[in-house]
């Protein structure tokens, strides 16, 4: 009985360790500064499982202004009520 419990505890410990280890993994990224210019395209982020392509439309003292290359989400206006008289 004792060896069976010991095996169960070892299995649980390995399972918990395998579940926690990916949480602590850190990706290594470069600290190099990226200079963006008007007209550049940048791909980052995901929406609905697809990567988002962004276009730099202006760069000023506040940083770059970017707009998505495509419409990300379409929310139709609901004019069913009489609130717009």
Q: What is the DSSP letter of 76?
A: -
Listed in sequence order, the residues at least 6 apart from 65 whose beta carbon sits closer than 8 Å to its beta carbon are 56, 57, 58, 59
Average pLDDT, rounded, for the chain: 79
Distance of alpha carbon 39 from alpha carbon 59, whole angstroms? 10
CB atoms within 10 A of CB 36: 15
- What is the band of 84 on the pLDDT scale with cuts at 50, 70, 90? low
In angstroms, rounded to a whole number, what is the distance separating the alpha carbons of residues 20 and 18?
A: 6
What per-residue confidence (pLDDT) applies to 83? 60
Overall pTM > 0.75: no
The pLDDT tens digits of the residues spanning 65-74 come to 999 988 888 7
pLDDT single digits (tens) 42-52: 998 888 888 99
């Amino acid at each position: 009985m004792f060896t069976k419990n010991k095996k169960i505890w070892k299995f649980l410990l390995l399972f918990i360790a395998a579940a926690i280890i990916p949480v602590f993994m850190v990706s290594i990224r470069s600290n190099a500064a990226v200079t963006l210019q008007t007209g550049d395209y940048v791909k980052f982020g995901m929406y609905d499982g697809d990567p988002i392509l962004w276009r730099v439309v202006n760069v000023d003292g506040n940083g770059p202004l970017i707009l998505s290359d495509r419409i990300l989400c379409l929310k139709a206006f609901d004019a069913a009520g009489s609130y717009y008289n």
